[in-house]
Structure 1
Amino acid sequence: MTIERNGKRYLASPFGTVAWVRNLQAAGEATLTRGRRVERVNARELPLKEAALVLQEDIKGGNPFASYYQVNAESSFEEFERVASKHPVFLLQGAM
């Protein structure tokens, strides 16, 4: 799931550390496709606190996938850190 915040794009895994996450962690780059649109990007996994902030902002902004993370807008930052440790978040950095 892509997240756009403050002019930056992120990719988060609502399903945890699944195969595509492990591949992205190893490769550091990806090809994103949506319909016929194809985009190559570099991706950097965020440290725990940064990932927790991105998830917290996204869920407070009304993310429809919030139930996958088992937190809500009123959850503590520590709960978001717990979630971020199981649901990696990557910063997408421009086309390659």
Structure 2
Amino acid sequence: MGSSKSVRPPWWLKPANKLFIQMSRLGLSFGGESPVVLTVPGRKSGRERSTPVTPMTVDGQEYVVAGFPGADWVANVRAAGEATLARGRSVRRVRMVELSAEDARPLLRVFPEEVPTGVGFMKRAGLVDEGRPEEFEALAGRCAVFRLDGIQ
């Protein structure tokens, strides 16, 4: 199974993210999913850092799953606790609450159904082999899962 390998972001991730951010700012979707641009201050520089994410809604609550372990945006969110999410011209602030591995398991299990484009990404990154729900569930504790709570 792919989870035993050390995982590095693929070479194409940064250029692809730039394209996805531009598409999202224009309000375009791809693969039937509508990603948002998550912006959070850098934990060292304090400069705003943006990355595309695809939230999923489970039981009326919104969540974001990190595409690979050690993502910079995850460390920045852990430091800041809050972020801005933008889809087209719609912008909102959220508190991002990281779930324990135990609480993340059922959400990771439904991830392939809720965010099908994420399956291909995680396969190419070497995190899962076939994209079965139990492979995603096994990523609990390796790939961060955040609950998004609105800020008034």
TM-score, length-normalised on structure 2? Answer: 0.54
SS at match of 1:86: coil
Distance in 2 of aligned mates of 1:25 and 1:87: 13
What is the deviation of 1:26? 1.1
Answer yes or no: is the 8 Å Cα contact 1:60–1:72 preserved in 2: no
Unaligned segments of structure 2, at least 5 residues: 1-53
The reply on whether 1:94 has 2:147 as its aligned counterpart is no
Answer yes or no: is the 8 Å Cα contact 1:43–1:90 preserved in 2: yes
Higher strand share: 1
Answer yes or no: is the 8 Å Cα contact 2:100–2:141 preserved in 1: no
The corresponding residue for 1:10 is 63
What is the deviation of 1:60? 4.3
What is the deviation of 1:37? 1.4
Equivalent residues, number: 93
User: Does 19-28 or 65-74 show the bigger shift?
Assistant: 65-74
Match of 1:22 among 75, 93, 101: 75
Larger radius of gyration: 2
CA RMSD in angstroms, aligned pairs only: 2.1
Unaligned segments of structure 1, at least 5 residues: none
Indicate the structure whose relative CO is greater, using CA pairs within 8 Å and at least 6 residues apart: 1
Identity score, percent: 30
